[in-house]
Amino acid sequence: MSTAKYVIGVDYGTDSVRSVLVDTANGKEISSSVFLYPRWQKGLYCKPAINQFRQHPLDYIEGLTHTIKDCLAKAGGADIAHLVKGISVDTTGSSPVAVDATGTPLALTKDFEENPNAMFVLWKDHTSVKEAAEINEHATKFNTNYLKYVGGIYSSEWFWSKLLHILRVDSSIKKSAASWVEHCDWIPFLLCGGNDIATMKRSRCAAGHKALWAEEFNGLPPEDFFSSLDPLLTGFRDKLFVDTYTSDISAGTLSEEWATKLGLGTDVIVGVGAFDAHMGAVGGQIEPYYLSKVMGTSTCDILVAPNQDLHGKLINGICGQVNGSVIPGMAGLEAGQSAFGDVYAWFKNLISWPLNHLLSESDVIDEATATALKAELEGKIIANLSKQAAALPDGDYAELAIDWLNGRRTPDANQELKGAITGLGLGTDAPRFFRALAAATCFGAKAIVDRFKEQGVPVKGIIGIGGVAKKSAYIMQMMADVLEMPIRIHRFEHTCALGAAMFAAVAAGVYPDVETAMKAMGTGFEKEYKPNIKKQKMYRQHYQQYLGLGRYLEKYNKKDVKPYLS
């Protein structure tokens, strides 16, 4: 009889969910499966023009079921299923939802099935910029700085601003919501068969970085902080939580319903959830003072440090520092860029306009050929732009861009900021435009590294994780050149899911702690990009220009500055 022990890591991303079945002995991937959210793919419940991005919980449930069953089927079905010891989940965040007293998202209850306000408010939803600004102003009225552990600035991407916005715009949610929960808290609760919201184990990671929970406050800020912000919040604090849990802790065991649905045993341990980048940092074998950059649609940058090193030190303008949010017993510091891969995707869509809108009307080729040609060309655009941009001479560098196409997350969150590009001329072609956008995302990364250093937190190197890190040698080399430090690319393809699997192994008792699991299950690095010293002077100059243009845009963005009209 086999003595192998397997775990499942589930990684909920912006567009899809991925599950991986992993051998706890060595971190080897046995099988994996991806599920694209069908409602999200159709653009349902979203209004990009007003930055509204909502996801239906059915997308999450269907994806969870499909990917885990598919992983098991690919690996051998029942012969493998009985060897699975644990499941852990990571998700995007802050992506909260209103729930009833049973912990069921309102979108899964009668009368709310098609109400976007009853669905998960995705991390990139910025409909609550007004509420975030009010929270920031309101916090200045208190002797205690309740924003001190979230970098001093609250964001529209986070829990309380989203919650308040929904309560303001939809009285039916206010009337029916027994509580609000993060996506990473709800999935473990669902798997364990939870039916009482008061028993849900809340993630330390989510609560500390996004919901103002802090050990110093003995939980959330006091009732009067919220009730004096808006009477709509009166009593809401008591509907939430006091205690939080690190992700090495068990949330419970698989319920009979879910065990039957997935083909697993009811003895399978389900770990407490966390955000994708935090578990991804563990999957990517993070070390103290190395910045783990999960590079996908956005970036989430994670750094860990011994608690004693940060005693009495608060880092301004980041997304928080929380004891145990990444590795239990260490401080986890989070930063990030609101748009990274999304910047390249935006440009790809921009220049693909004829493919998307005119090719189907062609009188020269039939519909099937047009569809195939569109798919072929779209698949080649970024790769060929990268190749052409890399071939451009360094001395011919007029274009300069700012990467705030979805606002700015770090340093100093401001989701109202907009992107820009200057230096355009008749000689500006698509590769030059793309080069400027790529450089802007790298300069945005440097601004984060510089903020850590300015605040007394050293950054020794970069660990690259995610789709862009694995696929784009052009952007990774440029980033190494801009940051003037090496970037190691982790070998495992699905690093966030691997991190979730490592936490599952610890929660299930296979390993005593996260560090031991990382050592046993880490798969190492496949490549290292080293900075090109010859480009140092050029990028230092361009970076100063980037900062200058950014300062101008921030000033221009203020309400009292009006555009010049002739």
Close Cβ partners of 519 (under 8 Å, ≥ 6 residues apart): none
Give the residue ranges of DSSP H helices in 140-263: 159-169, 171-176, 183-191, 204-210, 223-227, 256-262
For residue 283, the Cα-to-chain-centroid distance in whole angstroms is: 15
User: Which helix (DSSP H) or strand (DSSP E) does residue 306 occupy?
Assistant: strand 299-306
d(CA 333, CA 304) in angstroms, rounded, equals 6
List CB contacts of 284: < 8 A, sequence separation 6 or more: 292, 294, 463, 465, 490, 492, 495, 499
Number of CB atoms found within 10 A of residue 136's CB: 16
Distances in whole angstroms, Cα of residue 317 to Cα of each of 46, 132, 251, 460, 473 = 29, 14, 32, 20, 30
pTM of the entire structure?
A: 0.92
Contact 121, 57 (CB under 8 A): no
Helix (H) or strand (E) holding 379: helix 367-390
DSSP strand pairing (84-91 vs 6-12): parallel
Residue 197: both structure tokens together:
């919201």
What's the CA angle centered on 5, arms 3 and 10, to 5 degrees?
A: 165
Length of the chain: 566
* 82 Cβ neighbours under 8 A, 6+ residues apart: 265
Distances (CA, A) of 321 to 41, 205, 315: 34, 10, 8
Residue 494 has which token pair?
């699905």
d(CA 437, CA 399): 9
Other beta carbons within 10 angstroms of residue 367's beta carbon come to 11
Please give the chain's pLDDT, 566 residues, in tens: 578 999 999 999 999 999 999 999 999 999 999 999 999 999 999 999 999 999 999 999 999 999 999 999 999 988 899 999 999 999 998 999 999 999 999 999 999 999 999 999 999 999 999 999 999 999 999 999 999 999 999 999 999 999 999 999 999 999 999 999 999 999 999 999 999 999 999 999 999 999 999 999 999 999 999 999 999 999 999 999 999 999 999 999 999 999 999 999 999 999 999 999 999 999 999 999 999 999 988 999 999 999 999 988 999 999 999 999 999 999 999 999 999 999 999 999 999 999 998 988 888 999 899 899 999 998 999 999 999 999 999 988 899 999 999 999 999 999 889 999 999 999 999 999 999 999 999 999 999 999 999 999 999 999 999 889 999 999 999 999 999 999 999 999 899 999 999 999 999 999 999 999 999 999 999 999 999 999 999 999 999 999 999 999 999 877 544 443 33
Q: Token pair 């089927």 is at which residue?
A: 73
Token pair for 158: 């986070």
